[in-house]
Amino acid sequence: MIERYTRPQMGAIWSEENKYRTWLRVEIAACRVMCRLGKVPPDALREIEEKADFDIPRIRELEKTLDHETIAFLTAVGEKVGPASRFIHLGLTSSDKLDTAGALQLVQSLDLIAEGLQKLRQAVGSRAVEHKHTVMIGRTHGVHAEPITFGLKLAIWYEELRRHVIRLANMRKNIAVGKISGAVGTYSHVEPEVERMVCEDLGLEPASVSNQIIQRDRHAEYLNTLALLGCTLEKMAFEIRGLQKTEVHEVEEPFPKGQKGSSSMPHKKNPNLSERITGLARLLRGYALVGMENVALWHERDISHSSNERVALADASILVDYLLDRMTWIITDMRVFPERMKKNMDLTGGLIFSQKVLLALTKAGMSREDAYSIVQENSMKVWEEGGHLRDLLKDHPKVKELLSKEQLEECFGLGNLLEMADAVFQRIELG
């Protein structure tokens, strides 16, 4: 991932240095287990532990000739270790190291992502409680529908993020899997006990069964889980963008002092952050597709997955880490304009209370069809000619016959909206 979207801690996880360091960690873990089982002499293990290291430039130099990264890595390490290096990678195949070390990197990434997700969820929950009773218009199809509260909108995000917390936890279990089973996974040159002990030492579960690789449905699930989280972040960004439109202007993302919105129009305050999140979420969905394409490989394996995983797994992890951080900032520092929300609610002359009038008339004895017809007819007049729905209905003979002035007036209030907001927040244990 380009530096622009790479935060230091996540970038370090996917650096070449950490990749090779994690490879070495797996190889040394295997040497230690084999020493315990009597397959590697203790003196050789001590030499390996003391001297095993690598120089990235040397690995790159070797790979130019060898055209095989694992062999280049092992050769570079062997040059540091000396004769005892013959016990490194004993009975292993490249994917034993690659996939087991890869699982460790994915676990590191997931732990960082989970931490970022919790921070975002806390920020959303805090703003939801703050605006639990901030009344605004709810929109369906982009058209004014009925009143809601801004806190309820945020509570939906808060609960959706809870489901992502659960997904990440489940995903961590499914991806924290290693394999040390040798070529084609038959344990022909390394016993299952080695695999069990190495994985245990590394904090991983051994794959219950594998061929030459850990099966790629796990990695596809990883990428799909991150893509789905990206969808939620895009959903949040999409809403903020919509509410920041000039003619709406109910919410505004952070715009620090010194920021510029346009190279040509000094007045602009654009929702750049939210638009960036929207765009980058599309990349995550692309990586999810790559993960699914990698599930089907030839026979016991091919390496058609290997090249694209170098990009997809790293980039998706880095992007989600970045997006969580940016969205947390947006939520924490976004401006909310309750007065504008109130003003926008009044734009349609009481039309947003049409259902309450409909229900009041049917409760008073009018058929639903007749009540709907009366309310709709007068609502269309307000749409076309302006005015207020209440003023048209108060003189309608059939309405006057069934509803008192006080009953009609009550239809144009918020009713129990705030009490219902309290009930929802209590149900999701928020505030």
Local confidence band at 268 (pLDDT 50, 70, 90 cut-offs): confident
Rounded CA separation 26/133 (Å): 54
Q: Is the pLDDT of residue 266 over 90?
A: no
CA 412 to chain centre: 40
**Closest to 155 measured CA to CA, from 179, 130, 175:** 130
Q: Is the pLDDT of residue 1 over 90?
A: no
Rounded CA separation 174/167 (Å): 11
What mean pLDDT, rounded, does the chain reach?
96
Backbone angles phi, psi at 428, to 5 degrees: -95, 10
Any idea what DSSP says for residue 91? Answer: T
Rounded CA separation 124/141 (Å): 25
Domain end marker among 90, 118, 150: 90
Whether residue 117 sits in one domain with residue 185: yes
Contact call for residues 406 and 424 (beta carbons, < 8 A): no
Any domain includes 430: no
CA dihedral of residues 38, 44, 50, 53 (deg, nearest 10): -100
The whole-model pTM stands at: 0.94
Element (H, E) at 206: strand 205-206
Local confidence band at 262 (pLDDT 50, 70, 90 cut-offs): confident
**262 counts as catalytic:** yes
Local confidence band at 264 (pLDDT 50, 70, 90 cut-offs): confident
Q: Is the pLDDT of residue 70 over 90?
A: yes
**Closest to 354 measured CA to CA, from 378, 318, 324:** 378
* β-bridge partners, 206: 178
Whether residue 30 sits in one domain with residue 54: yes
pLDDT number for residue 249: 97
Contact call for residues 121 and 328 (beta carbons, < 8 A): no
Sort 246 into a burial class: Cβ within 10 Å, 0-12 / 13-18 / 19+: exposed
Question: For position 272, which CATH number holds?
Answer: 1.20.200.10
Rounded CA separation 105/18 (Å): 8
* Percent of the chain topping pLDDT 70: 100
Whether residue 76 sits in one domain with residue 107: no
Local confidence band at 227 (pLDDT 50, 70, 90 cut-offs): very high
Whether residue 211 sits in one domain with residue 334: yes
Question: For position 390, which CATH number holds?
Answer: 1.10.40.30
Total count of residues recorded for the chain: 431
Whether residue 162 sits in one domain with residue 103: yes
- What is the average per-residue pLDDT within 11-40? 98
Q: Is the pLDDT of residue 260 over 90?
A: no
Cβ density class 352-373: b for 16+ within 10 Å, e for less: bbbebbbebbbeeebeeeebbe
Q: Which of 68, 189, 262, 404 is catalytic?
A: 262
- DSSP SS3 for 15: coil
Q: How many domains does the chain have?
A: 3
pLDDT digits (tens, 9 = 90+) for 163-211: 999 999 999 999 999 999 999 999 999 999 999 999 999 999 999 999 9
Any domain includes 425: no
Looking at this protein, which amino acid is placed at residue 361?
L
Contact call for residues 394 and 408 (beta carbons, < 8 A): yes
Q: Is the pLDDT of residue 261 over 90?
A: no
Any domain includes 417: no
**181 counts as catalytic:** no
pLDDT digits (tens, 9 = 90+) for 366-385: 999 999 999 999 999 999 99
Rounded CA separation 233/226 (Å): 11
**Closest to 418 measured CA to CA, from 158, 136, 124, 144:** 136
Rounded CA separation 309/96 (Å): 16
Any domain includes 316: yes
Domain extent for 368 = 351-411
**From residue 103, how far is each of 263, 298, 317 by CA, in Å?**
45, 22, 13
pLDDT digits (tens, 9 = 90+) for 111-167: 999 999 999 999 999 999 999 999 999 999 999 999 999 999 999 999 999 999 999
Domain end marker among 90, 121, 144: 90
Question: For position 61, which CATH number holds?
Answer: 1.10.275.10
Any domain includes 429: no
pLDDT number for residue 167: 97
Q: Per the structure block, which two tokens stand in for 89?
A: 């990678």
